[in-house]
């Protein structure tokens, strides 16, 4: 399975510094910023499938195993071509720092984070299955007023994230 994930992350070609968190034990960063072996924490991430790809990162659905807990998480890693970019890495570290304190009912919480063997940061958040806002509105036949109310709730969550230093 780990080789399949490596191929998913390497669609651009180039170096495949897939975080050790995908498919094997990871290196986890403590609150003091000191790297430590995640096996000490009893954490492993098993890849399930690719969820999506943006301009800076890919997101993979994975199963997080911590002791007896077994849940789905969304793992975000930088694209291979950007993993050596110090400024891009710093942005993801800032996102991790903000997610540590971010608490909002419409925003998934940070579950785990760390860095790849090459030093590229990664993060895992709660996975929330769902559909796009438009598909949701169509599925439930929401009126225009209900659609606007739903959109306003999402804007409140986005404003909360921006206030915590996360730009999406």
- Distance linking the first and last C-alpha atoms of the chain: 31
pTM value is 0.70
Over its length of 168 residues, how does the chain's per-residue pLDDT go in tens digits? 344 444 444 444 433 344 443 433 233 333 223 233 343 344 588 889 999 999 999 999 999 887 667 889 999 999 888 888 899 999 899 889 888 888 999 899 999 898 887 788 999 999 999 888 899 999 999 999 999 999 999 999 999 988 877 776
Distance of alpha carbon 78 from alpha carbon 22, whole angstroms:
13
Q: In what order do the strands lie in the sheet with 110-115?
A: 35-37, 27-29, 110-115, 121-126, 69-78, 57-66, 43-53
């Amino acid at each position: 399975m780990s080789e399949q994930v490596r191929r998913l992350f390497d669609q651009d070609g180039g170096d495949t510094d897939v975080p050790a968190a995908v498919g094997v034990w990871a290196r986890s960063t403590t609150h003091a910023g000191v790297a430590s072996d995640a096996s000490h924490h009893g954490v492993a991430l098993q890849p399930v499938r690719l969820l999506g790809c943006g301009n800076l990162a890919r997101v993979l659905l994975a199963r997080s195993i911590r002791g007896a807990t077994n849940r789905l998480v969304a793992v975000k890693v930088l694209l291979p071509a950007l993993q050596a970019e110090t400024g891009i890495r710093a942005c993801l570290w800032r996102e991790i720092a903000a997610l540590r304190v971010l608490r909002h009912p419409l925003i998934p919480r940070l579950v785990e984070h760390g860095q790849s063997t090459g030093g590229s940061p990664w993060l895992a958040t709660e996975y929330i299955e769902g559909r796009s806002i438009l598909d949701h509105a169509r599925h439930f036949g929401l009126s225009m007023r209900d659609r606007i109310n739903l959109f306003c709730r999402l804007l409140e969550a986005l404003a909360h994230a921006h206030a915590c230093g996360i730009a999406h």
